[in-house]
Structure 1
């Protein structure tokens, strides 16, 4: 994925981290004052391309902040099983970390519930921290803080409108059991009329439902959209395959779906989610309280295109749009 310009990224992270020296801040024990590496626990539900980008950014960010082994990261995942999230996080708590970092909403919710009061939480890639019950507000979060990957919904709808000027209906498959997915659905329903769209959202309650739901949406709508929905991210190849049978384009707000065959979208840079999360984690490790660190929300995002997929459904992007795209799959 494309990253923020180097100077802009450096300035942002410097602002987040502040001027305190990196190595000394990380290598001092909270309990005794003796020098030792800080211990950071990192938990998530399962490896996935987007999560892997967050992990890479987080690890590289902490390595930059605390060079020379100043931080040790204990990383575990739940092998895709929600029921295993709590035991996974408890196993990390047993390592007595100085900070717990979690990726996505479900892992963050379980961690906040399970963590003892002395271990702060830095969450990464959480769409709606307030709605998920993780923070009291974005400005004064409370026990936990971190990075929101709130999708640029308005920019996504504007991109669909610019690509399909005559389109009137958008189909949205979503997982009703995922808080970020429901949040995204509600936000898209609110915004769609402003761009001349009617949104048809249909719940996918199981893997067996996916084929039927997507076919119905493809029949009824001008295009499909993959929203802020981990289950639909994973199902993107199947959604694209079905939509192509009806010669309907799929748009997305994440890079993996565009890579998997969505024609394009406006996406969040998940490597930067991890990198900025590392900067916030560094501030906590140096002694700042999470309640004093506002939740960081990612900026507007950037355009990604899949030209091969677009051609298969009869779409040719304006050359100016192609020039603006940060990532192009051919």
Structure 2
């Protein structure tokens, strides 16, 4: 775990009655996991969550079982998973990403839900409209938001390619998180004197076609927190490498996969923060008494190999700013 990346999440201080290992061992708790799709960032969230529970004394195969479900990018399947959990009644649901969290909340009001990797819990209807990071929800829900500093990201990426005035992005409008981020990207682009060209997709199979449609129209591409695009980032990388289009992301895991840079967060720590909240719930604290939080600390990661493949020379001053540089 890189020391340069620190989870800036709110740490809730709740007085708990002592719970010895023997007390935990008497009952096996069941955790239902629902993930919208598998990609590096969301997989890291899942690993971080489970690591936190292990550290809190909840060990798979000893006193905990997981029912891991993947909606594979299908919103109808996400709803079906949530409905099945409502019938099965696990002790807790870990919902990873916005669409699965929306479904988990919609189809049950009693099973504790701990969300993670949700961009805008308020806008997505997962927490109340008057809620804010650090506030208790008073419901069966708590969790961790991964809202990105979009304006600062765009400002940073523009320094890599100062000549680029037209930027492209690809997203699925059915994902509320993507709509929130793209709205912020529009505002950021306008304030920076840039033009944002948007291409929408409905399924992962459309992502490469969308990337190709941006060739000749934009001088750089920035990918949002859109799960459809991130899950198919390899397709975007292929197009960008072939046509020398600089590609930027918002999660650090995407840098290793071929983006030039990301000013983003360590998603393992997003999951770890959510797992700490889940441990409190499994020890008897009501989820509505555990404030939801937002990650606040980010790091700049650069991939020089990707930069060379996409025709970009990274300035020395940007390398010095980076928390990590991949050769």
TM-score normalized by the length of structure 1: 0.85
1:22 Cα deviation after fit = 6.5
Q: Which residue of 1 aligns with 2:2?
A: 2
1:300 Cα deviation after fit = 3.9
Q: Do structure 1's residue 20 and structure 2's residue 5 form an aligned pair?
A: no
Structure 2 residue runs without a partner (length 5+): none
Secondary structure of the residue aligned to 1:20 is coil
For 2:18 and 2:189, the matched residues in 1 are separated by 45
- After superposition, residues 292-303 of structure 1 pair within 5 angstroms as 292-303=289-300
1:105 Cα deviation after fit = 1.1
Secondary structure of the residue aligned to 2:270 is helix
Structure 1 residue runs without a partner (length 5+): 29-33
Q: CA 1:322–1:26 in 2, change beyond 3 Å: closer, same or farther? A: farther
Q: Do structure 1's residue 282 and structure 2's residue 290 form an aligned pair?
A: no
**8 Å CA contact 2:53, 2:59 repeated in 1:** no
Secondary structure of the residue aligned to 2:118 is coil
Q: CA 1:328–1:205 in 2, change beyond 3 Å: closer, same or farther? A: same
Q: CA 1:42–1:216 in 2, change beyond 3 Å: closer, same or farther? A: closer
Q: Which residue of 2 aligns with 1:239?
A: 236
RMSD (Å), alpha carbons = 2.8
Q: Which residue of 1 aligns with 2:302?
A: 305
Higher helix share: 1
**8 Å CA contact 2:9, 2:296 repeated in 1:** no
For 2:145 and 2:87, the matched residues in 1 are separated by 27
The superposition leaves residues 253-295 of structure 1 with CA deviations (integer Å, 9 ceiling, x where unpaired) of 1233322211111122110011100111122233333333322
**8 Å CA contact 1:112, 1:134 repeated in 2:** yes
**8 Å CA contact 1:3, 1:269 repeated in 2:** no
Which deviates further from its counterpart, 152-161 or 180-189? 152-161
Q: Which residue of 2 aligns with 1:166?
A: 163
Q: Do structure 1's residue 101 and structure 2's residue 80 form an aligned pair?
A: no
Q: Which residue of 2 aligns with 1:120?
A: 112
1:101 Cα deviation after fit = 1.3
The superposition leaves residues 112-171 of structure 1 with CA deviations (integer Å, 9 ceiling, x where unpaired) of 1222x4311110111111111100022243421100111221221121122122322211
Q: Which residue of 2 aligns with 1:85?
A: 78
Q: Do structure 1's residue 51 and structure 2's residue 39 form an aligned pair?
A: no
Q: Which residue of 1 aligns with 2:67?
A: 75
**Count of aligned pairs:** 320
For 2:143 and 2:114, the matched residues in 1 are separated by 5
**8 Å CA contact 1:47, 1:77 repeated in 2:** no
Of 218, 227, 245, 1:248 maps to 245
TM-score normalized by the length of structure 2: 0.86
Q: Which residue of 2 aligns with 1:130?
A: 122
**8 Å CA contact 1:237, 1:257 repeated in 2:** no
Q: Do structure 1's residue 188 and structure 2's residue 185 form an aligned pair?
A: yes
